[in-house]
Amino acid sequence: MTKGFRIAFRFSIVAIAAIAAILMASVILWMIGADVSDTFYIIIFQPLTNMLHLSEVLIRAIPLCIIALGISVAYRSGIINIGAEGQMAMGLLAFTGVALAFPDVPRPLLLPLAMIASMIGGGVWGFIPGILKAKLNVSELLSTVMLNYIAAQFYSLCLRTIYLDPAEQVYGTGTPQSMRLTENIWLGRISGRLHYGIIIALVLAVLIYILMWKTTIGYKMRASGSGARAARYGGISVGFYLAASMAISGAFAGFAGGVELAGVHRRAIEGITNNYGFSGVVVALFGGLHPFGIIPASFLFGLLIYGSTLAPSQVGVPANIVQVMQGIIIIVIVTAQMVLSNTYFQDRVWRKYQALRKKEG
């Protein structure tokens, strides 16, 4: 098989996949009577045209990236964390709690303290399903989803009771939100609403790379995930690393909540988690469970999420339809990845191609 053929093969598969995705999405848009080309332009290219749009895309990529990094750690250790949504909520609560409790502590002390609190909040929420799985073999799919519900309701409850902005009570608007948090926990902004969380996310990606591939802890986690039985036979305490990986995973989700609060919202309101916990799973898988794949993947998904907010106002396409299109794109890309990794198929195409050439020559 020549190198040229391999490149041509990959390129044609990707091209076919892209065309298929565009065609399917176009049919849907055409059925609801939208302007097909305008819609594509709005959701895919317009966000890249100016700094304001671009920074909005990046803002959404930051929590996605941090959460996906955590999920990749758990996934590689053999446990599927779909509880990042709840872990993020617990991180938000812990962060807000510290900020409300110590408004006068100076920034160099308070900001790290609140960030650590958010990690602990999420970490504990991740550790629970981890230890349940390790000790009692409770399915993490069950426990993480259930803990998501608990966290969401608990978050909601706190916003309406102990965290409720005193001003809201005075004016009686009753919006469930905390007061604006002290400036001592704000993260600085680079441009527009884009905050320094982006640097944090990139640094974390490098740290995760080092943890998973350069340390003995990472080695043991990966061994537990790729062959639990062999790891146990090799003297690795699989249960311990399972629980630890879930604690790390939860801590990342909680930390993503803290960064989101400190950088963007600066007060606890409903809807901050914004399904990032679930999108994070897709981003992690899409990025090949590798930090350097997760970075571009989170940018892509940030783009799609932001695009879906633009579409309703600019071309009158409901956000739901944009989500349907996202679903199609994801399925097509995943399918293309599977085809590309099937060397047997590639081999067959190569032989057909050679047979064709022989006939002509």
Partner 1 sequence: MDNRIRSLKMEHITKRFPGVLASDDISISVGEGEVLALVGENGAGKTTLMNILMGLYQPDEGRILINDQPVRFRGPEDAFKAGLGMVHQTYMLVPNMTVTENVALGYRNTGKKRYDIKEVRKRIEEVSSQYELLVNPDAYIWQLSVGEQQKVELVKTLCLGARFLILDEPTSALTPQEVDELIVLLQRMTKELSIIFISHKLQEVKALSDKVTILRHGKVVFSGNTSEHSPQEIAAKMTGHEIILPRNAGSAKAGATVLSVENAVVMSDRKIPALNGLNLEIRAGEIVGLAGVSGNGQRELAEAINGLRKTESGRIVFLGEDIANCSPREIIDRGMGYIPEERNTEGIVPPFSIKENFVLKDIASPSFSSNGFVNGKKIDSTAEKLVSRFDIRCPGIDTAAGSLSGGNIQKVILAREIERKPKFLVAVYPTRGLDMGAVEFIHSELLKIRESGIGILLISEELDEIMNLSDRIAVIYKGVIQKVLDKNEATRERLGILMAGVKEE
Among 220, 221, 242, 248, binds partner 1 (CB under 8 A): 220
Indicate the helix (H) or strand (E) that contains 283.
Answer: helix 276-286
CA distance readout (Å), 244 to 183, 220, 256: 34, 11, 18
With binding defined as CB under 8 A, does residue 10 bind partner 1?
no
CB of residue 64 to partner 1, shortest distance in Å: 26
Where residue 337 falls (left for φ over 0; alpha for ψ -120 to 50; beta otherwise) is: alpha
The minimum distance between CB 289 and partner 1, in angstroms, equals 12
Q: Is 209 in the site for partner 1 (CB under 8 A)?
A: no
Could you tell me the smallest distance in angstroms from the CB atom of residue 230 to partner 1?
Answer: 5
Stretch near partner 1 under the rule CB under 8 A, chosen from 78-86, 201-209, 219-227, 247-255: 219-227
Structure tokens at 237: 């305490």
Region of 160 please: left (phi>0), alpha (psi -120 to 50) or beta: alpha
Which residue of 45, 48, 207, 347 would you call a contact of partner 1, by CB under 8 A? 347
Q: Should residue 230 be labelled a site residue for partner 1 when binding is judged by CB under 8 A?
A: yes
Q: How far apart are the first and last CA of the chain?
A: 18
Of 255, 260, 261, 246, residue with least CA distance to 147: 246
Residue 227 is a binding residue for partner 1 (CB under 8 A): yes
Chain centroid to CA 184? 27
Single out the residue of 229, 357, 358, 359 in contact with partner 1 (rule: CB under 8 A): 229
Q: How many CB atoms lie within 10 A of CB 283?
A: 28
Q: Is 233 in the site for partner 1 (CB under 8 A)?
A: yes
**341 binds partner 1, rule: CB under 8 A:** no
Residue 220 Cβ vs partner 1, minimum distance, rounded to whole Å: 7
Rule CB under 8 A: say whether 234 interacts with partner 1: yes
Residue 6 makes contact with partner 1 by CB under 8 A: no
- Min dist. Cβ of residue 343 to partner 1 (A): 4
Minimum CB separation from partner 1 for residue 210, in Å?
A: 8
Residues 6+ apart with CB under 8 A from 250: 70, 81, 83, 84, 87, 90, 122, 123, 124, 125, 126, 127, 130
* Calpha distance 79→128 (Å, rounded): 13
Using the minimum distance from each CB to partner 1, give the nearer residue, 180 or 351.
351
Contact call for residue 354 and partner 1 (CB under 8 A): no
Contact (Cβ atoms closer than 8 angstroms) between residue 111 and residue 185? yes
Min dist. Cβ of residue 290 to partner 1 (A): 14
Q: Determine the Cα–Cα distance for residues 25 and 23; give it in Å rounded to an integer.
A: 5
Q: What is the DSSP string of 35-59?
A: -HHHHHIIIIIGGGTSHHHHHHHHH
Binder among 92, 159, 231, 297 for partner 1 (CB under 8 A): 231
**Whose Cβ is closer to partner 1: residue 151's or residue 244's?**
244
Residues that bind partner 1 (CB under 8 A): 214-217, 219-220, 222-223, 226-227, 229-237, 343-344, 346-347, 351
